[in-house]
Amino acid sequence: MQNSEETSLGGRFTFFGTSLAVKRMGYGAMQLAGPGVYGPPKDPAGAIAVLRAAVEAGVNHIDTADFYGPHTTNQVIRQALQPYPPGLVIVTKIGAIRPLDTSWQRAISADDLTAAVRDNLRNLGLDVLDVVNYRVMGSGHGVEEGSIGEQVAVLADLAAKGLIRHIGLSNVTPAQVAEAQTITDIVCVQNQYNIASREDDVLIDDLAQKGIAYVPFFPLGGFTPLQSSTLSAVAERLGATPMQVALAWLLQRSPNILVIPGTSAVAHLRENLAASHLTLPPQAVAELNGIAASGAVAQH
């Protein structure tokens, strides 16, 4: 099972069946791309500074995708961090492309997926990818049922060829997770989840029993940041920011949760990382657990 201990950045987690051990507080690189996750960063030097500051602070889990930009984010990661420090785990995802109209389109044929893996390898400057998530592009970025067996089999074949070490899933339903597990080992699931969006509670607990990582995207609400009077009140009592409390809640929710908040500013990065040192007392957790049930969250 996972190895989790109370250390810096939320402790450590070892992906089940692998030698990959990461700090539970990681970094998501999506915001390093330009507006709308398209084009180059507005501040290239700032993007490089954020990545280097994250690694210097002990972060060894970076989440990315070559369709961020497209290509830009991975190229910035390579420019900032290569030669990569020992123990750095870069997790990417495939299953989408970004055409010139800046839309998000499915790219799920065997040729599409193979080309995406090769794009990630080239732009990151790697010979093999640590973890590749198959991202299911549902309507409006939401999840949708349907077989993903064909696509997962392609990733398993790419792993057999030595281009991928391990396979994960993103934006999937429990049924799709179960289907994928009949084809290959799945080391992580990356779905939308936060203090207000808790549809995956049962899935998280099931994965925890199996030692499989759960990596919530939009941990702070994403494009529509979380706003809650309860969240703000708890934060004020604890001398923290609401977003720090939301991240700390995720770390305390389950030991298999890995958090990957993104930012393009060093100061904001440090604020996010500081959340890993925040311990929420039981009363605060109880109040925060009530947010999703009451629907008392505004997103702006």
Catalytically active residues are 68
Residue 228 in 3-state DSSP? Answer: coil
Name the residue with tokens 């009077």: 229
